[in-house]
Structure 1
Amino acid sequence: MTRVAIITGGSRGIGRAAARRLAADGYALAIAYASNAAEAEDAVREAKAAGGQAVAHRADVADENQVAALFDAAEETFGGVDVVVHAAGRLVLSPIAELDLDVLDQLHRTNIRGTFVVDQQAALRVRAGGAIINFSTSVLGLSLPGYGAYAASKGAVEAITMILARELRGKDITVNAIAPGPTATAMFLDGKDPETIARMTAQPPLERLGAPEDIAEVVAFLAGPARWVNGQVLRANGGIA
């Protein structure tokens, strides 16, 4: 039986690399995106070229009705859901003292409510033998200035992940989070000057930024063979923390 994965944030960055990687393993994919239909269709074409089946579906991850419709589409198209990769997220950088609280609310709507909504549907719909994979950040261990709102949202993601893993006792479904370090995606690179990027590139002992493909390998591990890894946060950061 073909395994089926839903990937939120699948039109770009880490989500798109994860779609290519799971497609190479033969998955059928429902690639969810927020607004850019052209990028989502490109991601679908890449997934098909890598050897998988794929469709694109627009959904606001914080809207429970749209997320339910996303799961409906995956079930109707491919027959069920085995893996959920929740890679959608938002990053805002600002000192805590200066952050507009409306921006804070928007960030937390996507990162916290979005994770809760997606995980809620996943808990109800993922088949036995499946996996739920959330995304945190290694910034939680680094406590970098400017990342207060973002790190706070990802602390909530880790809490949701740990608790859901325990609530799904007896279901044969693993729940884990990946916490990337600095990774060369548009979300990370946008708004950073060359000096900041160079400094963060030099941080890991491997002396480079992560690539989306590095994180996609961790996704593939948790989605498939890693059945004894459950209720964990995997810090995929090249050794910085």
Structure 2
Amino acid sequence: MTKPRVAVISGANQGIGFAVVKELCKSFDGSVYLTSRDEHRGRTAVEELEKLGLQPKYHQLDIDDEASVLRLRDYLQATYGGLDVLVNNAGMLIVSKDEDSRELFAESARSVVQTNFFNTYRTCDILFPILRPHARVVNLSSSMGHLMQIEGQNEPAITLRARLSSTDLSYEELIHIMNHFLESVQRGDHPDYGWPKKNWVSYVASKIAVSAMTRRQQRDFNADPRPDIIANHVHPGYVKTKMASFKGVLTIEEGAAAASWLAMLPPNNVMNPKGSYVWHDKQIVDWVNGPTPSLY
């Protein structure tokens, strides 16, 4: 007997993740799991959707806690026999203040990169073995995750862009690049390597890493014996969320549109988007060279 299909969205008690759950509850043929770090907030979000006549399910998930990810994996394996859709939405942003010391700046950078890249990578590493044929993976990136954010024209910046965009990029090298970034932030010389001089450079670096990771994941899936597994990375737009201090121009539903579409790509014969960088209006964007359709 075939077990029901199942979709999991991380960091989904509010914002874009919440809106993705809302959309998939309407269009996905299977169980949709709203997950959150805080169980009370997650179950409150589920109740909000139930009032709309939707039927999401709930499971606790904190991507910063390896044991939490393992519990989710084991639950999905036991209950459904696998996983069909994974939307990696959980993430964080810390904008450093001008008065912050180098130590505080480096500490915040490490927190952002740890959650947004290292722990997202670990979540994928844990959950990918239970992906079923025709599974869809959506990694939330950002306009700040475009490779052109590394703007320098000196040799280290050119080399960094080439390494990140290489078809031979390994996970080990990507991890090395991100550790080197954190070391350079600690020293205060990260702009010498092409990283932008911005208070939110850690967010830029973490999302560039997520996008580079996604491209590598798709190359792996292309060689995977399980057919038709697709991973894409998406810029949701400048959305009115808590992370953006509610200053965005898009609603959470508009910000979730492209991610939801990618999660629902039909089985078989999808040539594009596949390992692609997708803008919030569903345009496929050249992640290496651009241009981007708009500022946001």
Q: Is the 8 A contact 1:158 1:177 kept in 2?
A: yes
* Paired residues of 1:135 and 1:177 also in contact (CA < 8 A): yes
Q: Paired residue for 1:184, among 240, 265, 274?
A: 240
**Does residue 162 of structure 2 align to residue 159 of structure 1?**
no
- Going from structure 1 to structure 2, the CA distance change for 1:31 and 1:77 (only over 3 Å counts) comes to farther
CA contact (8 A) 1:6 1:74 kept: no
CA pair 29-47 structure 1, distance change in 2 beyond 3 A: farther
Contact preservation (8 Å) 2:237, 2:255: no
Which ranges of structure 2 fall in alignment gaps of 5 or more residues? Answer: 150-195, 282-292
Query: TM-score, length-normalised on structure 2?
Result: 0.68
Residue equivalent to 2:251: 211
Which amino acid is the alignment partner of residue 127 of structure 1? R
Aligned length: 224
**Which stretch shifts more, 160-169 or 68-77?**
68-77
1:125-164 equivalent positions in 2, closer than 5 A: 125-141=130-146, 143=149, 145-164=198-217
Does 2:135 correspond to 1:115? no
Alignment check: 8 A CA contact 1:119 1:132 kept:
no
Deviation (angstroms), 1:34: 1.3
Residue matched to 1:175: 231
User: What is the CA distance between 1:80 and its match in structure 2?
Assistant: 2.8
Q: How many Å separate the matches in 1 of 2:72 and 2:137? A: 15
**2:280 corresponds to:** 236
Asked if structure 1 preserves the Cα contact closer than 8 Å seen for 2:145 and 2:206, the reply is: no
Q: 2:109 is matched with which residue?
A: 104
Q: Secondary structure at the match of 1:215?
A: helix
Secondary structure at the residue paired with 2:25? helix
* Most deviating of 25-34 and 96-105: 96-105
AA paired with 1:184? K
TM-score (normalised: structure 1): 0.82
Distance 2:54 2:93 in 1: 30
1:34 aligns with 2:37: yes
2:5 to 3, 7, 19: 3
Distance 1:224 1:51, change over 3 A: farther
Are the equivalent residues in 1 in contact too, given 2:237–2:280 (CA < 8 A)? yes
Shift of 1:74: 2.8
Q: How does 1:65-80 map to 2 (within 5 A)?
A: 65-80=67-82
Give 1:73 deviation, angstroms: 2.1
Q: Which is strand-richer, 1 or 2? A: 1
Q: SS of 1:100's equivalent?
A: helix
- Structure 1 residue 138 displacement after superposition: 0.6
Aligned-pair CA distance for 1:233: 1.1
Contact 1:24 1:51 in 2 (8 A): no
Distance 1:222 1:49, change over 3 A: farther
* Aligned residue type for 1:112: F
List runs of 5+ in structure 1 lacking aligned partners: 191-196, 202-208
Q: Which residue type is aligned with residue 81 of structure 1?
A: L
CA distance in 2, matches of 1:127, 1:214: 29
Which has the greater radius of gyration? 2
Distance 1:147 1:235, change over 3 A: farther
For 1:140 and 1:83, locate their aligned partners in 2 and report how far apart those are by CA, in whole Å. Answer: 22
* Percent identity (aligned): 27
Partner Cα separation in structure 2 for residue 75 and residue 161 of structure 1 = 23
- 1:78, CA displacement in angstroms? 4.0
